[in-house]
């Protein structure tokens, strides 16, 4: 399982204008893992994903590139190039294309794949994984419920057949039942070989299914350990699992 | 008298097809990029001149010039967007008004300098051929241009809704950043969209030679008509351009028959104003409202 | 703030120097400057409203037209002297601006632009058709005219006044409110700014001065028809001059109007037909390379230069 890491982040620093939001963040994701990044609002979790996807300008506090994917630097790449390289992002709030139908959203996920047949096959797979979407196929996405939109966003990301999936708070604003469905979906995708990096606020769920986790606070990595260890860590329990 | 009105109505509808066609291009450009193209009518003028020069210079039947007009304006539009308009896509709208206005000045006055202000007519052997129907006169050429307009609008609508490129265009219009996250090269989509809008406008221009003489200053009034059409039909809504175009064609034709042109223009503009005030999303209610 | 006050006094000094010029100057330059001051005045009016709020008005020519016709009709019908009709023209323009602005300022962006344009065009057609009032397409001859130097001084005075008002607005609460509306109107309203009133006040003030300038110009022309004074190209020149110079700055319209009018004067003489092509090219280049206008870009560059911090 531990060949070279799929994703390597070294001393990542990121800015919004003049304001620094990430300070020397380092982490890695190995092939086939589910890695969680947890932390409070404003910690910089979304920014982290943004840096990987090329949406946010990043640089390294050390020498060399800040973000390495499969050994190659992602620094300075445009989002459309990163996506073409096999990484897909499910952004915060799903961000489905509101005026397009559920089906069109999914088809668009496979934009980079010119092979019609393959597209159809992946479509069948995705609809099989999320039967709810099948029912809503011709509905405009804006009329779908929050949970359905989240499923749609994940399905859309899967349509590009990525090797690496990033999820930004997939459980945000969702009913607990819906949340389990989503997480079960993520686990099953992972079992089929997809590496996952998950940014979450629902700490219990995230840590339960993750192989490893990082705690990000105020733009810095505070803790890093296996999912199990983090769940029983006293700091994490007090700060995030307060009963 | 009623025959006159019906004839006027028919003329209006036939002209309305053209209005709808190039206004659809205008609407598409605004809907996807938020750019109000004040040089839009000049693209139409260029299409008309392509047809004229090929007709006079090469002896080509005007209908055979259509593909050249489409191709030529597509390339021009693509380049205009890529080289200049792309810079103002994210910027405040006024930048695009002024930029496209500057382009309007350049294009229309270059045409004026190159080709002089003399109106040019395109008349073929069959120009006067009419279809007589129930006492009405339907010029064949205008009938054919109308059918072509409808066909192309339908094609555009189909393209936007049933092809990956069309979906990409829609996605870019709805959420630009997310579109990039699905691998769409947004800059290329913008250029493609503008090229498409320019191409169908060039087509409309080539067909306009059946309705009027060609001269370099003919563009601006058509741009203004495009504004009216998309306000009526809804900004950024393609089927709305069809509705708006037909209505405007009819209104224009009938009102010039009934009133002096000054009052009918005043009334049209005032109605346009009221429309913006009370129903900015257009008759269909599907327009983009800020 | 010492720097700003100095700026104001320098401006005042410059204006006074220009006022003294006719006693020394050559007639051609006085003529040219008269036209330049006219356009500085108009551009500054446009900038006062639109440069700061970001609302794009394409119907300003309505007020040059209203001004010209109100003054003209009053003079023809009642024989009142020219100088009395000027403020009346401004008043007329202001009142109509109040009526127009009230509903129209609810619109935003492209819709506001198209709406103002549509109204101005409609108004022009009405002026054309309502021959009983305006003589329509026949045109109206203005019975009174001032001396050349009088126009020079009046335009200089009005232009300086509008620029001074802009300066005052920029440095006081009113200006902050306008800029806040530009940034985020919704938020501005929530903070307690009465956006509708402020917009309306600015719009009406702008129209008032545009009306007076239009009235003066009408008398200077001596004879005009509706499409001379309601011409959309007047509005377009105002917009471009503000943009070229820098929207939302005090000196922007001054620089922009001077620059464009000088170019027009030079090119118009040299290149006749071609000159509009060149103007178009200049506009395109400025938008692409100097999007904040001449003044705006300079301010931006200076700001960056003096901000070198580790």
Predicted TM-score (pTM) of this structure: 0.89
The 10s digit of each residue's pLDDT in B258-285 is 777 778 888 888 988 998 999 888 888 8
Radius of gyration of chain C (CA): 19
Mean pLDDT of A29-56: 90
Instruction: Look up the domain containing C59 and give its range.
Output: 31-305
Q: Which two tokens stand for residue B208?
A: 């306009």
**How high is the mean pLDDT of chain A?**
88
Q: For residue A164, what are the β-bridge partners?
A: A87, A195
Binning pLDDT at 50, 70 and 90, where does residue C307 land? low
Domain membership flag for residue C181:
yes
Any idea which of A98-107, C18-27, C60-69 has the lowest mean pLDDT?
C18-27
List of residues 6+ apart from C120 with CB closer than 8 A: C58, C59, C60, C61, C62, C65, C230, C232, C235
Per CB distance under 8 Å, which residues of C are interface residues toward B? 54, 56, 103-104, 106-111, 113-115, 117-119, 121-123, 125-126, 128-129, 236, 239-240, 243, 247, 273-274, 276-277, 279-284, 287-288, 291
Domain membership flag for residue C280:
yes
d(CA C192, CA B81): 41
CB-CB neighbors (< 8 A) of B181 in chain A: 53, 55, 79, 83, 88-89, 91
Q: Where are the beta strands (DSSP E) in chain C?
A: 140-141, 223-224
Count other Cβ atoms within 10 Å, centred on residue C95. Answer: 16
Domain membership flag for residue C194:
yes
Determine whether the interchain pair B290/C111 forms a contact, defined as Cβ–Cβ distance below 8 Å.
yes
Pair A20, A28: CB distance under 8 Å: no
Q: Where are the beta strands (DSSP E) in A2-71?
A: 7-16, 19-29, 34-38, 58-60, 67-69
Mean pLDDT of C10-22: 85
Determine whether the interchain pair C122/B269 forms a contact, defined as Cβ–Cβ distance below 8 Å.
yes
Q: Is A84 on the interface with B (CB under 8 A)?
A: yes
Helix (H, G, I), strand (E, B) or coil at A26: strand
Determine whether the interchain pair C122/B270 forms a contact, defined as Cβ–Cβ distance below 8 Å.
yes
pLDDT score of C33 more than 60 = yes
Residue B190: per-residue pLDDT:
96
Binning pLDDT at 50, 70 and 90, where does residue A61 land? confident
Domain of C279, CATH number, reads 1.10.3470
Mean pLDDT of A180-184: 85
pLDDT score of A132 more than 90 = no
pLDDT score of A37 more than 90 = yes
pLDDT score of A20 more than 60 = yes
Residue A1: per-residue pLDDT:
46
Per CB distance under 8 Å, which residues of B are interface residues toward A? 161, 164, 167-168, 170-171, 174-175, 177-178, 180-186
Tokens 């070989």 locate to: A193
Mean pLDDT of A59-66: 85
Domain membership flag for residue C114:
yes
Q: Which two tokens stand for residue B122?
A: 């395109």
The 10s digit of each residue's pLDDT in B36-81 is 899 999 999 999 999 999 999 998 888 999 999 999 999 999 999 9
Residue A37: phi, psi to the nearest 5? -120, 115
| Mutation to test the C interface, candidates B266, B268, B280, B287, most C Cβ within 10 Å | B266
Low-confidence spans in chain B with pLDDT less than 50: none
- Residue in B106, B110, B273 nearest the CB of C118: B273
Domain membership flag for residue C210:
yes
Chain B residues 183-212 with CB within 8 Å of chain C: none
Pair A48, A37: CB distance under 8 Å: yes
Report how many Cβ contacts below 8 Å link chain B to chain C.
120
Determine whether the interchain pair A79/B170 forms a contact, defined as Cβ–Cβ distance below 8 Å.
no
CB-CB neighbors (< 8 A) of C273 in chain B: 109, 112-113
Residue A8: phi, psi to the nearest 5? -130, 115
Determine whether the interchain pair C239/B98 forms a contact, defined as Cβ–Cβ distance below 8 Å.
yes
Dihedral sign computed on CA atoms, order C179, C184, C188, C194: positive
Domain membership flag for residue C148:
yes
**How high is the mean pLDDT of chain C?**
89
Pair B29, B35: CB distance under 8 Å: yes
pLDDT score of C3 more than 70 = no
Pair A190, A196: CB distance under 8 Å: yes
d(CA B131, CA B144): 11
Binning pLDDT at 50, 70 and 90, where does residue C79 land? confident
d(CA B146, CA B156): 15
DSSP A226: E
Mean pLDDT of C102-131: 91
Number of domains in chain C: 1
Residue C272: per-residue pLDDT:
64
Pair C229, C81: CB distance under 8 Å: no
The 10s digit of each residue's pLDDT in C215-272 is 999 999 999 999 899 998 899 899 989 988 988 899 999 999 999 999 888 877 766 6
Determine the Cα angle at C276 with ends C273 and C281, to 5°: 130
Tokens 């040299």 locate to: C270
Q: Is A160 on the interface with B (CB under 8 A)?
A: yes
Mean pLDDT of C272-296: 83
What percentage of chain A carries pLDDT values higher than 70? Answer: 98
Residue A37 — left, alpha, or beta (φ > 0 → left; ψ -120 to 50 → alpha)? beta
Residue A176: phi, psi to the nearest 5? -50, -40
Residue A166: per-residue pLDDT:
95
Pairing status of strand A87-90 against strand A72-73: unpaired
Which of A40-49, A219-228, B43-52 is modeled with the greatest confidence?
B43-52
């Amino acid at each position: 399982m531990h060949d070279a890491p799929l994703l390597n982040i070294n001393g990542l620093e990121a800015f919004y204008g003049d304001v620094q939001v990430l300070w020397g963040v380092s982490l890695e994701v190995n092939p086939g893992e589910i890695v969680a990044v947890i932390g409070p609002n404003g910690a910089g979790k979304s920014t982290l994903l943004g840096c990987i996807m090329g949406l946010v300008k990043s640089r390294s506090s050390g020498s060399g590139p800040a973000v390495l994917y499969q050994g190659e630097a992602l620094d300075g790449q445009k989002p459309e190039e990163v996506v073409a390289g096999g990484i897909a992002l499910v952004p915060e709030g799903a961000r489905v294309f509101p005026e397009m139908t559920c089906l069109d959203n999914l088809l668009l996920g496979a934009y980079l794949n010119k092979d019609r047949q393959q597209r159809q096959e992946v479509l069948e797979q995705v609809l099989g994984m999320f039967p709810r979407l099948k029912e809503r196929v011709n509905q405009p996405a804006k009329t779908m419920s929050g949970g359905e939109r989240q499923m749609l966003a994940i399905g859309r990301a899967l349509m590009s057949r990525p090797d690496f999936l990033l999820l930004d708070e997939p459980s945000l604003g969702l009913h607990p039942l819906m949340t389990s469905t989503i997480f079960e979906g993520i686990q099953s995708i992972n079992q089929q070989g997809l590496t996952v990096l998950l940014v979450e606020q629902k700490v219990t769920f995230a840590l339960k299914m993750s192989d490893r986790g990082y705690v990000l606070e105020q733009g810095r990595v505070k803790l890093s350990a296996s999912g199990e260890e983090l769940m029983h860590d006293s700091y994490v329990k007090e700060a995030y699992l307060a009963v | 008298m009623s025959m006159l009105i019906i004839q006027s109505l028919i003329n209006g509808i036939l002209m309305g097809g053209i209005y709808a066609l190039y206004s659809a291009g205008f609407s598409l450009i605004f809907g996807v990029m938020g750019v109000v193209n004040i040089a839009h009518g000049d693209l139409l003028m260029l299409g008309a001149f392509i047809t004229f020069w090929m007709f006079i210079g090469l002896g080509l039947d005007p209908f055979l010039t259509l593909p050249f007009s489409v191709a030529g304006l597509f390339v021009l539009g693509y380049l205009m967007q890529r080289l200049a308009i792309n810079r103002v896509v994210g910027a405040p709208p006024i930048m695009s008004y002024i930029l496209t206005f500057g382009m309007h000045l350049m294009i229309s006055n270059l045409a004026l300098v190159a080709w002089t202000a003399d109106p040019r007519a395109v008349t073929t052997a069959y120009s006067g051929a009419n279809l007589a129907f129930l006492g009405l006169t339907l010029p064949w050429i205008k009938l054919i241009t109308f059918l072509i307009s409808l066909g192309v609008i339908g094609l555009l609508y189909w393209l936007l809704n049933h092809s990956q490129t069309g979906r990409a265009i829609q996605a870019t219009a709805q959420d630009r950043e997310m579109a990039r996250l699905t691998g769409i090269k947004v800059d290329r989509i913008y250029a493609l969209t503008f090229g498409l809008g320019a191409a169908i406008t060039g087509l409309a221009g080539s067909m306009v030679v059946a309705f009027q003489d060609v001269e370099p200053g003919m563009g601006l009034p058509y741009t203004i008509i495009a504004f009216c059409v998309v306000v009526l039909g809804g900004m950024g809504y393609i089927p709305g351009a069809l509705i708006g175009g037909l209505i405007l064609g009819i209104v224009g034709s009938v009102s010039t028959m009934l009133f002096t042109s000054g009052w009918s223009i005043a009334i049209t503009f005032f109605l346009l104003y009221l429309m913006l005030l009370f129903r900015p999303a257009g008759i269909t209610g599907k327009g983009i409202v800020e | 703030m010492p720097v700003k006050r100095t700026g104001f006094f320098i401006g005042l000094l410059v204006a006074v120097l220009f006022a003294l010029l006719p006693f020394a100057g050559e007639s051609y330059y006085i003529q040219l400057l008269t036209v330049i001051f006219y356009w500085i005045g108009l551009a500054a009016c446009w900038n006062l409203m639109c440069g700061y709020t970001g609302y794009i008005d394409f119907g300003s020519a309505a007020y040059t037209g209203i001004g010209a016709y109100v003054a003209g009709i009053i003079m023809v019908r009642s024989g009142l002297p020219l100088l009395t009709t000027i403020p009346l023209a401004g008043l007329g323009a202001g009142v109509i601006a109040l009526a127009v602005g009230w509903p129209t300022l609810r619109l935003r962006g492209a819709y506001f632009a198209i709406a103002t344009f549509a109204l101005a065009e409609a108004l022009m057609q009405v002026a054309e058709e309502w021959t009983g009032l305006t003589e329509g397409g026949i045109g109206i001859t203005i019975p009174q005219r001032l001396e050349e130097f009088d126009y020079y001084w009046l335009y200089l005075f009005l232009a300086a006044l509008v620029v001074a008002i802009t300066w005052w607005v920029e440095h006081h609460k009113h200006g902050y409110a306008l800029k806040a509306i530009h940034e985020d109107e919704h938020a501005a309203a929530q903070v307690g700014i009465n956006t509708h009133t402020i917009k309306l006040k600015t719009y009406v003030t702008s129209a008032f001065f545009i009306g007076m300038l239009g009235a003066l110009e009408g008398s200077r022309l001596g004879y005009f028809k509706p499409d001379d004074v309601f011409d959309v190209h007047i509005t377009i020149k105002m917009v471009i001059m503000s943009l070229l110079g820098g929207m939302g700055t005090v000196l922007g319209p001054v620089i922009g109007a001077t620059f464009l009018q000088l170019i027009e004067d030079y090119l118009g003489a040299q290149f006749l037909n071609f000159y509009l092509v060149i103007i178009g090219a200049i506009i395109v280049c400025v938008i692409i390379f100097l999007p904040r206008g001449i003044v705006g870009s300079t301010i931006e560059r200076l700001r960056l230069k003096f901000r070198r911090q580790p």
